[in-house]
Amino acid sequence: MTTLSGRVYQAILGFEDHLVKELGESHEILGSSVEIAHSPSLLYSTTGDPVFWHQNCWLNPVRIEFDSIGQAASALRGLGRNWAPCLSTQFRRGSLIQAKLPPLPDKKRPFPWLLPETPMGAYTLLDANTIIASAECSSPFPGGIIEFEEDKEGPPSRAYLKLWEALTLCRKWPRAGDRCLDAGASPGGWTWALAKLGAEVLSVDRSPLEPKVAGMEGVSFMKHDAFTLKPEDIGRLDWLFCDVACYPPRLYAWIEKWLASGLCDNFVCTIKMQGRAEDESASLQGNESQTADFETPRRFAEISGSKLVHLWHNKHELTWMNVK
């Protein structure tokens, strides 16, 4: 077994180019979804710079040479308990190894759900006798994927799923009576999720909430551009949530005011990846060229106590969390 000096990054299908841009020249491809449809791209890199555009990061990878299925499974069990395969080749051999490891949970999760503390490992096969594995990963979910028991009647959109995922990662969520601001609330997916927790929600948007959300207990609505509201206009909050479609620097400037005010302890914000023309890049999956601001998310990540991730339920966006 050989300890590797870098990290392995599992790319996000459709946004591999964003990960490549973050890694720069210092990476090699271990597996590619371009070669095998819907198979994850794995990139190995020794870069020391922060990297955010990945579905999962393998934090302490090792290289394992093995002669038999049993030997491979034994080596993995010696490193950790929970293992999720991430294969782009050797699928049958990988399934035989996985059969000798503790089974992964396959049921959808309710919300709220408190994450277990036990880390989730990941591994891939380079060939019939070589594994790259890490017992610790950035995501506590198998392969970075979390599926919830969805409510198909209450919320007006599926946007609430990324809020559920973010709060699950925070291992904390609003309690009954907590005062929350939901900026960019319309049509009301996040407001619905917060009100279901018993929170008092001030929803702000220039478009109205869906009537059934607006009528929920604890919900009040203000027709306004949230970014023109000063912290002192709102007052003390327990939580600030924002899913506004805007350029990242505008969101950052608004959040700076809230941080300076000291009027809120907990933040969850979506950073939409609009940006400057010089950052334009085209997806390897054939998407239209999109602009992406890579600089502003790094400024968010530098705020003390911050966590910046691409959620399984995110699209062309990142999620910033700063929770006491």
What average pLDDT values come out for the chain (324 residues) when binned by 10 residues? 95 93 87 50 91 96 98 98 94 97 93 93 96 97 96 96 98 97 97 98 97 98 96 97 96 98 98 58 38 91 97 97 96
pLDDT at position 105, please?
A: 84
Cβ partners under 8 Å of residue 26, min gap 6:
45, 46, 47
Alpha helices for 124-224 (secondary structure H) = 160-170, 189-196, 211-214
Verdict on whether the full-model pTM lies above 0.85:
yes
CA angle, 47 as apex, 81 and 131 as ends, to 5°? 35
In terms of Cα–Cα distance, which of 9, 7, 14, 10 is closest to 273? Answer: 14
Cis peptide before 105 (omega within 30 of 0): no
Cα separation of 234 and 202, whole Å?
9
Residue-level pLDDT at 278: 37
* Confidence (pLDDT) at 29: 87
| Sequence-distant (≥ 6) Cβ neighbours of residue 53 within 8 angstroms | 11, 12, 15, 18, 19, 21, 22, 310, 318
Sheet with 42-45, edge to edge strand ranges = 27-31, 42-45, 7-10, 56-58
Q: How many CB atoms lie within 10 A of CB 209?
A: 24
Q: Could you tell me which of 227, 225, 222, 187 has the C-alpha nearest to residue 201?
A: 222
- Choose among 226, 258, 231, 256: nearest CA to 244: 226
Reading the block at residue 317, the tokens are: 């966006």
Residue 150: HSE in the Cβ half-sphere, 13 Å Cα cutoff: 14
Q: How far, in Å, CA of 170 to CA of 173, rounded?
A: 8
- Asked whether 225 and 205 are in contact (CB, 8 A), the reply is no
pLDDT at 24: 87
For the chain, the 3-state helix, strand and coil shares in percent, each to the nearest 5, are 25, 25, 50
What does the block give as tokens for 117? Answer: 């503390």
CB of 71 within 8 A of CB of 130?
no
- Phi, then psi, of 273 in degrees rounded to 5: -95, 40
Q: Quick one: pLDDT at residue 291?
A: 66
Question: Quick one: pLDDT at residue 27?
Answer: 87
* 199 close to 216: Cβ distance less than 8 angstroms: no
Distances (CA, A) of 86 to 39, 62, 98, 230: 8, 15, 11, 46
CA distance 229 to 315: 27
Per-residue tokens: 264: 């809120």
List, as own/partner pairs, every contact residues 274-277 make where C-beta atoms lie below 8 angstroms and the sequence separation is at least 24, other chains included. Answer: 274/246, 274/247, 274/248, 275/247, 275/248
Q: Angle at which helices 189-196 and 160-170 pack, to 10 degrees? A: 50
pLDDT at 96: 98
Q: Determine the pLDDT at residue 284.
A: 34
The amino acid present at 46, given as its one-letter code, is: T
pLDDT at position 39 is: 59
Single out the residue of 51, 17, 11, 10 nearest to residue 287, CA to CA: 17
